[in-house]
A = this chain, B = another copy of it.
Amino acid sequence: MSNWEEYVRTVEPYVPGEQPNQPDMIKLNTNENPYPPAPGVVEALKNFDTDKLRLYPEPTCKVLVDAIADYYGIRSSQVFTGVGSDDVLAMIFMTFFNSKKPILFPDITYSFYDVWADMLRIPFETKALDDNFQIRKEDYYGDNGGVVFPNPNAPTGILMPLSEIEDIIAHNRDVIVVVDEAYIDFGGVSALPLIEKYDNLLVVQTFSKSRSLAGMRLGFAMGNEKLIRYINDVKYSFNSYTLNQTALVLGVQAIRDREYFEETCAKVIATREWTKCELKKLGFSFGDSMSNFIFATHERVPAKEIFEALREHNIFVRYFSKPRIDNYLRISIGTQQEMEHLIAFLTDYLKE
């Protein structure tokens, strides 16, 4: 070992999930939107002035921040943007989770919270979901260094009522509470209105799911302007120019088109509800997902077997070999046609 290795920030190497790329595959493994981005996005890329690419992007991301503020009816000073919600969350962890007390999040949740905590040497404690995979709000009332959870939760898809979220925020006025709303647009109620009431609340959202732009890496946080200023201070000390010229332009187009957004979300929701009915008939059970995926277990056949059978037939879903959830499949909602294909396969496969 070279001596320099002594000072390396060693981390449990995170292995990015499989990104299969086969013709004719049905890709239901990473919660992407099955519909293309808004027409304005496509148009803006076609008409993009490529000479702009030689110039640095505008570092405050003003056009995009303004468009988000405008869409949600808040002030631009209440919006922070980053390279996907992962970048936004990493900046938030760095900025606010510097206490010696552990931050709190559920045991079954977005797989990156403990990765960031480990990497940034932030102490953390997980709180077990109840047997129905529900967050127990009381678990988050004790002394802590901060709280973070997704709503709806991932990979369960289960939504928490806003009143319970407010209880958690109200019980934690001395730390920052982050509500990670990556999937909120598929039927959930956002905690956004609470940012006016609580200066310790950050609501994080993304363009990756409901706005069909996973490929552009765009996420944002909304909160009290003092919080946003603190995150920006750290962000400018880390990387001043994060969103590139294309991301800024396409992001603005994606957020402006309310009609297309509502229409595609409605389609995903309708297909999700149809899929729930069909999966139930086939002997699956699951919490009532309000996201763009269903987290399901079968009454008879182990999840891993179904996962592998699907995979052999070019249908990709997500399987986690983790405690408590290793008999579940996370199935992203594709187009109606893709889900019909999935159900047809499962109907045949599960025939006894």
In the assembled complex, how far is the CB of residue A24 from the closest CB belonging to chain B, in whole angstroms? 15
In the assembled complex, how far is the CB of residue A96 from the closest CB belonging to chain B, in whole angstroms? 6
Q: Are B36 and A50 in contact (CB under 8 A)?
A: yes
**At the interface, yes or no: A159 with Cβ under 8 Å from chain B?**
no
Q: Are A214 and B41 in contact (CB under 8 A)?
A: no
* Sample of 8 further A-B pairs with CB below 8 A, known A53-B213, A217-B243: A4-B173, A7-B99, A21-B58, A33-B54, A36-B51, A86-B238, A86-B240, A87-B238
In the complex, chain B residues whose CB is within 8 Å of the CB of A55: 27, 32, 214-215
Q: A30-B56, A32-B56, A56-B19 are contacts. A8–B212 as well, Cβ < 8 Å?
A: no
**At the interface, yes or no: A118 with Cβ under 8 Å from chain B?**
yes
What per-residue 1/0 map shows which CB atoms of A286-304 lie under 8 Å from chain B?
0000000000000000000
**Chain A, 56-72, CB within 8 A of any chain B CB:** 56-60
In the complex, chain B residues whose CB is within 8 Å of the CB of A11: 233-234, 237
CA distance A83 to B200 in the complex (A): 30
* Chain B: CB-nearest residue to A116: B237
**Chain A, 29-51, CB within 8 A of any chain B CB:** 30, 32-37, 41-42, 45-46, 48, 50-51
CA distance A48 to B234 in the complex (A): 34
What are 12 A-B residue pairs whose CB atoms fall within 8 Å in the complex? A3-B174, A4-B200, A7-B145, A13-B233, A32-B55, A54-B212, A57-B217, A84-B239, A84-B241, A86-B240, A90-B238, A215-B244
**At the interface, yes or no: A282 with Cβ under 8 Å from chain B?**
no
Q: Oligomeric state, in number of copies?
A: 2
Which of B9, B94, B217, B244 is within 8 Å of A241, CB to CB?
A: B217
Q: Are A45 and B50 in contact (CB under 8 A)?
A: yes
In the complex, chain B residues whose CB is within 8 Å of the CB of A59: 16, 19
Interface size class of A (residues with CB under 8 A): 35 or more
What per-residue 1/0 map shows which CB atoms of A1-17 lie under 8 Å from chain B?
01110111111111110
Q: Please name the 10 residue pairs, one residue from A and one from B, whose CB atoms are nearest each other, closest first.
A: A3-B174, A215-B245, A119-B237, A16-B59, A54-B212, A53-B215, A14-B236, A7-B99, A246-B246, A42-B50
CA distance A2 to B2 in the complex (A): 45
CA distance A187 to B58 in the complex (A): 29
